[in-house]
Structure 1
Amino acid sequence: MASILVVDDESSMRDMLEILLRKQGHEVHLAADAPGAVARAAQGDLDLVVTDLRLGAGTGMDVLAAVKTHSPATEVVIVTAFATAENAIQAMKLGAYDYVLKPFKLDELKLVVAKALERRALVAENRALRHRAGATFAEPELLGRSAGIEEVRSLVERVARSRSTILVMGESGTGKEVVARAIHRGAGPDRPFVAINCGAIPEGLLESELFGHEKGSFTGATEAKAGLFEVAGTGTLFLDEVGELPPQLQVKLLRALQERRVRRVGGQSDLAVGARIVAATNRELAEDVQRGRFREDLFYRLNVIQIRVPALRERKEDVPLFLEHFLARFAAEAGRPVPRLSPEAEGALLAHDWPGNVRELANVVERAVTLAGEAETIDPSVLPPALRGRAAALPDAQAQLPDAGMDLQAHLDAIERHLLEQALARTGGVKTEAARLLSLTFRSLRYRLAKFGIGRD
């Protein structure tokens, strides 16, 4: 038996679907509009949502986005009599399982529901198997629905099967290796993925690591060793922090990329190599070229296709997804139920700018889960001091007027902007739902967002 939410503004359709699904043995919940559906979905115990596209208040797309924010594993089926290719594509991009046209045959809908629940069960079983095998969350994905990460995802899909060299750029902690692994998986994960951090290995050893060495080529070389170019075979060689390569190795890397051949340290002949190169850096290599720190010819050889990963502060609407992901991950590793965030802790986490990006967020959540122990709720006391201070500094109705006075309008604007950003982050960027959280009309919300330039490209 599955838990299914039916969302439709027509009572006759709700009643018909309720009867149909209850006959199949399912537990059925009903909602007449998007706000009611979102509130019910936020409880996180649903297996499937069947929603009409056009609702009296909000839309099925609002329901879909909110469900995937609160409970990504819940499947969603969109039902509509007003189908367009654009709506269908948008629904699938947001994570809908299927798109059913009215009028539909009951057998058709029963089949779609059965398939959606089968997929939900298979995903859950796969996660359980991976957890028992000790591999839970070992292969992170490109989380997020912001415009920035959608662009990254689109580029990854387009270049994955090419053999072109790719340069992934972004601040430290943004997930550049996650992007590299996504590219590799798209090309066929049965081939090797080999990674090396060019800034973490001493210069004297880095050449041997990349290109290999022959026996006796230097003190301690007691046997021949294949370099990572050879080990990668026809798979992917990921050169992390490539901007840290010393000048001498920049020359040798350029030769390897141009000629697709390498020579081991102490070797007398070249070896052909076929690995696709994905390089990453948190440096602005174009500026390093101008300063003479990085070879211009190597930069252009690496920069055939560039993918820039946005900083987390540039896609704050994705923070709730990361919080949910890491809470589940670290709770599973600790063998405990997934804790909830208190409103104060959630507000502090959503308001933080995350200068360390996704890596910082993961560390903060791991700390919180560990220190919270068996508590069901994570509160600000287990957050780092800087974030606890942020929680304490959140707008307070008991704020006191300073002795020296204050700029009231500026203070009120700061509070308003903060709450607008928090509402958008909590709803995954769904404006109709953000308006509901703030008890605003959609027009009023849109005016206030424009006033502060929030969401403007």
Structure 2
Amino acid sequence: MQNRGSMAKVLVIDEDRSTLARLELLLTKDGYETVTASTGTDGLNRYVERYPDLVILDVFLSDVGGFTVLEELLEENEQAMVILMTAQLDMETAIRAMKLGAFDYVPKTADMAELLSVVHKASNTLETDRQQGGLSGEAFRNYKAGDIIGAGREMREIFKMVGVLSRSRATVLIEGESGTGKELVAKVIHKHTSSNEPFIAVNCSAIVETLLESELFGHEKGSFTSAFNRQLGKFELGRYGTVFLDEISEMSINLQAKLLRVLQEMEFERVGGKDKIQVHARIITATNKNLRTLVREGKFRADLYYRLNIVSLKIPPLRERQEDIPLLVNHLIAKIGRDLSRRISGVSEEVMEAFLRYTWPGNVRELENLLVRAGVMAKGRILDKSDFPELFKESGKIGAMNEPGSDEYDDFGRLLTLDDVEERYIRKVLQLERGKNKGELCDILGISRPTFERKLEKYGISFERDGIDQGLSANLSEVEEKIRQ
């Protein structure tokens, strides 16, 4: 027999020791490096210790159910290749196994040749994924922190900083363009610091000033016209967890002063209240703008900036993380496949090469959105050029906006102005993101709600007329047609 498993490590988890011994002998003889575990708990520990490439898992385990083990394995590494075995072969179990993300499902009554065939198929799929930029389980562990993926020096430094910050509760400022994953970084810091406490995120650009104050600090009954009941604010609800203030640059000067006082005194009062309430939550803030520049322009308080900037993290844009794109694609496809209950293996070599050429103005969020749309519409397990019609032009290359001589000129052959480019881009986002509300569109565009409203007025763009709200009631065929266009 051809030795197809010489480079792969296999973990077998089964309570039946005779089955373990038989499979270990079979797999070792076929060239696989084999590790065994007789309980679910032991299997999970062995996985973290050894990070095998493949896992053969019995569904019925007495200490931890096989499906629970499967979910925990995929939480540890969403690219884990897990083959489930069970003595009870039924439709419901098979559907559940594949929906959760198992690679395949075989009965324990299957002969060894059938099982080896499935193992070879999984091993070959793993090898194909590696050739397309994927990683083995052990290597993947080194490039992952929570849902943050990165292989470059800058991302490695961020991983190290997350580890350091997890040992304290210092205030953190996270800087980076929209879509780079600032909230993910905040969540990972929180997870490693106070995972049992709440993580509360507030988008400062999506809430008007008067409501934002109440949102943060809470209010007493009768403190204003519509205050019919007492409401606790985010700082109070955060308890000993984390309050994440996203787009802090959009907070008004007046509210900045109140936030500064909270950070200085570590206490606050509800709107309309007199009682002092202690702040125990950790504060993490994020911005897609340069706060130092805003301080110089008088748009952000210098004293607040220094209070927030105890420790700062700069998240690089995706265009500066080219080596991370294959890793991110594999990570996102595995996640999307589970969310959509679809088996998607990867992208074609042509698509990956095109991704590497593109500048990704929307960063990781743009990449994920493209992959989600492609995953919904895809007919095969490998996403190819036909699954990305909005990006592949007649030239066959992705993102014609990156190529000289394509979209830089108007219909009369004149170079476009910056306003022309901005208007075209906003209209394109409205078309592609049909059905999203204004807050979500602001996140994608990387601008505040007031700025978005001003730009719609400036360019004569109607939010309703251009089909955003209409998309909510469009039937499936209409949505599919819009995506294909």
Query: For the superposition of Structure 1 and Structure 2, which TM-score range results when normalised by the shorter chain?
Result: 0.5 to 0.7
Alignment deviations for residues 293-341 of structure 1 (CA, whole Å, 9 cap, x no partner) = 0000000000000011111111111111111122122222222211432
CA separation of 1:28/1:238 partners in 2, compared to 1, >3 Å: closer, same or farther?
A: farther
Aligned 8 A contact 2:205 2:251 in 1 = yes
2:387 is the alignment partner of 1:382: yes
CA distance in 2, matches of 1:371, 1:115: 29
- 1:357 equivalent in structure 2: 363
Alignment deviations for residues 244-268 of structure 1 (CA, whole Å, 9 cap, x no partner) = 1001000000000000001111112
2:282 is the alignment partner of 1:281: no
Aligned 8 A contact 2:216 2:233 in 1 = yes
Structure 1 unaligned spans of 5+:
9-19, 31-45, 50-74, 78-94, 99-111, 395-457
2:40 is the alignment partner of 1:24: no
1:3-402 equivalent positions in 2, closer than 5 A: 5-6=5-6, 24-26=25-27, 97=49, 124-126=70-72, 141-372=147-378, 374-388=379-393, 391-392=396-397
Report the more deviating stretch, 140-149 or 223-232.
140-149
CA separation of 1:208/1:158 partners in 2, compared to 1, >3 Å: closer, same or farther?
A: same
CA distance in 2, matches of 1:353, 1:177: 22
Alignment deviations for residues 414-452 of structure 1 (CA, whole Å, 9 cap, x no partner) = xxxxxxxxxxxxxxxxxxxxxxxxxxxxxxxxxxxxxxx
CA separation of 1:163/1:227 partners in 2, compared to 1, >3 Å: closer, same or farther?
A: same
Aligned 8 A contact 1:5 1:48 in 2 = no
SS of the equivalent of 1:248 reads helix
Amino acid at match of 1:342: S
Structure 2 unaligned spans of 5+:
9-20, 36-43, 58-65, 79-95, 102-144, 400-485
Aligned 8 A contact 1:332 1:338 in 2 = no
SS of the equivalent of 2:160 reads helix
CA separation of 1:4/1:217 partners in 2, compared to 1, >3 Å: closer, same or farther?
A: farther
After TM superposition, give the deviation of residue 145 of structure 1 in Å: 1.5
CA distance in 1, matches of 2:53, 2:311: 42
Aligned 8 A contact 2:219 2:272 in 1 = yes
CA distance in 2, matches of 1:135, 1:358: 24
Aligned 8 A contact 1:97 1:116 in 2 = no
After TM superposition, give the deviation of residue 128 of structure 1 in Å: 6.5
CA-atom RMSD, angstroms? 3.7
After TM superposition, give the deviation of residue 387 of structure 1 in Å: 4.0
CA distance in 2, matches of 1:388, 1:27: 49
CA separation of 1:175/1:389 partners in 2, compared to 1, >3 Å: closer, same or farther?
A: farther
CA distance in 2, matches of 1:114, 1:174: 29
Aligned 8 A contact 1:348 1:388 in 2 = no
CA separation of 1:294/1:258 partners in 2, compared to 1, >3 Å: closer, same or farther?
A: same
CA distance in 1, matches of 2:314, 2:351: 31
Aligned 8 A contact 1:48 1:117 in 2 = no
CA distance in 2, matches of 1:310, 1:196: 22
CA distance in 2, matches of 1:376, 1:116: 21
Percent of aligned pairs with the same amino acid? 40
CA distance in 2, matches of 1:144, 1:240: 22
Aligned 8 A contact 1:380 1:388 in 2 = no
TM-score (norm 2): 0.56
Alignment deviations for residues 268-312 of structure 1 (CA, whole Å, 9 cap, x no partner) = 232111111000001100000000000000000000000111111
CA distance in 2, matches of 1:322, 1:154: 19
CA separation of 1:353/1:126 partners in 2, compared to 1, >3 Å: closer, same or farther?
A: same
CA distance in 2, matches of 1:247, 1:114: 53
CA distance in 2, matches of 1:29, 1:364: 40
Alignment deviations for residues 138-193 of structure 1 (CA, whole Å, 9 cap, x no partner) = x9522121111111110010011212100011110000000000100111300111
Aligned residue pair count: 305
Amino acid at match of 2:273: G
SS of the equivalent of 1:392 reads coil
